[in-house]
């Protein structure tokens, strides 16, 4: 009797990008999120999610460093500390507070929709083949991703669907792949490469980048950087034995943008 054939598991990764109200995930707000689901064998985009996030207030997160308690009167409002929205950060992403008020969803709603998006686009797989996150300077986005999930109170559910690890203090972090590191491995030998910004890597790799600093366009470009560098890794003797990997293109979501 012939041995039963085993289907090759389909590996999926989720490319992530946030626009934010500043650089510190401890105090600055998420303003826009884009996340794409990608098959890693072909780099075909199998799903995408994009949303603006309505203004919200600072919350205490379990396990975070706690501030010294201060006595307050009964007239003080404990829930009235808004997240930070720096003017420079908003200008950088061409996002306004009016846009967030009119187009944004509550952060708890966005977090639950992102979790469901991950679940819906993950094939049945073993624990060591669960999806991971891809991003350009992904450590920055990972902080805001954890902020969002902690604020929504669903981090335990996220742990079940993504690969990750606990740090020394017991805080869980998703497994992340940084395209800056991939770019440095692939391009650092070239004397004319002295920066690994997304737009510069796209230029060196022949990838079109529209609507820079829009989360959805940045996710498409980041996925394409990973695809081009993956195809190089899969090549033998400078030739790639297989079909070309898919290159995605995001539709422009704004009439203008700033770089």
DSSP line for 112-136: HHHHHHHHHT--S--GGG--EEEET
Q: Is the pLDDT of residue 74 over 70?
A: no
Domain-located, residue 72: no
Say yes or no to pLDDT of 71 above 80: no
CATH of the domain at 205: 3.30.420.10
- Whether 150 is covered by a domain: the verdict is yes
Task: With beta carbons less than 8 A apart as the criterion, state whether 84 and 22 touch.
Answer: yes
| Owner of token pair 């002295």 | 194
- What does the alpha-carbon distance between residue 41 and residue 223 come to, in Å, rounded to a whole number? 13
pLDDT confidence of 253, banded at 50, 70, 90? very low
Q: Is 8 helix (H, G, I), strand (E, B) or coil?
A: coil
In a domain, 21, yes or no: yes
What average pLDDT is seen over the chain? 86
| Average pLDDT value for residue range 209-224 | 83
Q: Is 251 a member of any domain?
A: no
Q: Which is higher by pLDDT, 6 or 114?
A: 114
In a domain, residue 34? The reply is yes
Q: What is the mean pLDDT of residues 235-256?
A: 56
The set of residues, in sequence order, having a beta carbon less than 8 Å from that of 46 and lying 6+ positions away, is 12, 37, 38, 39, 121
CA distance to 55, 202, 225, 226, 242, per residue, from 182 (Å) = 34, 13, 9, 8, 21
Please tell me the least confidently modeled range out of 143-152, 192-201, 215-224, 230-239: 230-239
- Number of structural domains (the chain) is 1
Q: How much is the average pLDDT of 240-254? A: 56
- Element (H or E) spanning 165, and its range? strand 164-166
Full domain range(s) for residue 103 = 12-57+81-237
Q: 34 versus 71: which is more confidently predicted?
A: 34
The pLDDT-based confidence of 5 (bands split at 50, 70, 90) is: low
- pLDDT of the residue at 197: 94
pLDDT band (50, 70, 90) for residue 235: confident
- Residue 249 in any domain: the answer is no
Question: Please, are residues 39 and 53 in contact by the beta-carbon 8 Å criterion?
Answer: no
111 located within any domain: yes
253 against 100, higher pLDDT? 100
Q: Is residue 1 part of a domain?
A: no
Beta strands in 1-152 (DSSP E): 12-20, 30-39, 45-52, 132-135
């Amino acid at each position: 009797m012939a041995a039963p054939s085993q289907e090759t598991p389909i590996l999926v990764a989720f490319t992530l990008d946030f626009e934010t109200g500043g650089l510190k995930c401890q105090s600055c707000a998420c303003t826009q999120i884009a996340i794409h689901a990608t098959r890693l064998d072909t780099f075909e985009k199998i799903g995408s999610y994009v949303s603006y996030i309505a203004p919200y207030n600072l919350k205490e997160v379990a396990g975070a460093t706690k501030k010294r308690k201060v006595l307050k009167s009964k007239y003080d409002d404990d829930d009235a500390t808004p997240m930070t929205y720096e003017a420079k950060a908003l200008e950088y992403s061409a996002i306004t507070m009016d846009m967030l008020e009119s187009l944004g969803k509550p952060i708890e709603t966005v977090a639950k929709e992102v979790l469901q998006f991950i679940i819906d686009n993950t094939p049945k797989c073993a624990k060591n083949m669960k999806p991971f996150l891809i991003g350009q300077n992904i450590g920055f986005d990972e902080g805001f991703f954890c902020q969002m999930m902690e604020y929504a109170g669903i981090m335990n559910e996220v742990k079940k669907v993504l690969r990750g690890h606990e740090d020394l203090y017991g805080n869980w972090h998703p497994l992340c792949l940084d395209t800056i590191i991939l770019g440095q491995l692939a391009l650092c030998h070239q004397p004319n490469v002295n920066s690994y910004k997304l737009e510069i890597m796209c230029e060196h790799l022949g990838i079109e980048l529209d609507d820079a600093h829009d989360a959805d366009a940045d996710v498409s470009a980041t996925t394409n950087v990973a695809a081009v560098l993956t195809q190089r890794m899969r090549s033998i003797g400078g030739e790639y034995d297989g079909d070309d990997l898919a290159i995605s293109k995001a539709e422009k979501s704004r009439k203008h943008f700033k770089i």
